[in-house]
Amino acid sequence: MAVQVKVPTILRTYTDGAKVVSGEGGTLAELIDDVESNHGGIKARLIEGEDLRRFVNVYV
């Protein structure tokens, strides 16, 4: 299922300035991997080890 991911201003350098990107995945980890496949480098800014960085907010 495709979802829209809103990208904060500070991370838009990884999305060529896009405010919203699309991604797919059955879990949050799969979604982040999918977004990473199209926007290299963004995953490292979202994940620390196996956990979300403390500033990352997820809304469903």
> What residues does each domain of the chain span?
2-52
Between these two residues, 59 and 20, which has the higher pLDDT value? 20
Is 9 in contact with 18 (CB distance < 8 Å)?
Answer: no
Please tell me what DSSP assigns to residue 34: H
Average pLDDT of span 24-53: 96
Average pLDDT of span 33-57: 96
pLDDT at 1: 77
Domain 2-52 fold: Ubiquitin-like (UB roll) (3.10.20)
The pLDDT tens digits for 2-37 are 999 999 999 999 999 999 999 999 999 999 999 999
